[in-house]
Amino acid sequence: MSQSTDDRPPLGVRVLTPDNRIGIYYGPHGHPESATHAVLRPVGGGIEWTAPYAELEVLAEISEYPRKADVNVLHVAWVEHISECYACLGGHECAIKDRLNKALMIGAQESA
């Protein structure tokens, strides 16, 4: 049975899986309408994995007002994301890249 798209977390939120891994939600694994698993990535970048939607716990959205200490982590995540995201590599719109850009821009302004 597929997970209702209304019950899925928003793109870019941090989630916790039952094995205590924290990842950023990148979207459904497989066809969007029938996917039962989510694609996740480590917060600082790295190899993606999947987990069942029913087992995810949403932790928090990526802050639009990051602390100075978080700006470096966001920058690493941004570099990793744009180097591996099919949408970004193809020059298409990407909600996660947009959120990371916004958070980095605000973080840079606060650091100045």
Name the nearest CA neighbour of 97 among 112, 84, 110.
84
Averaged pLDDT, groups of 10, the chain, 112 residues long: 64 86 86 87 85 87 56 73 78 77 66 54
* Same-domain pairing of 24 and 45: yes
Whether 56 and 85 map to the same domain: the answer is no
The verdict on 107 and 78 lying in the same domain is yes
What is the number of domains present in the chain? Answer: 2
CATH number where 21 lies: 2.30.30.30
Q: Which pLDDT score is estimated for 90?
A: 79
pTM value is 0.53
Judge contact between 24 and 96, C-beta under 8 A: yes
User: Among the three residues 19, 44, 60, which one is the final residue of a domain in this structure?
Assistant: 60
Instruction: Give the domain extent around 9.
Output: 5-60
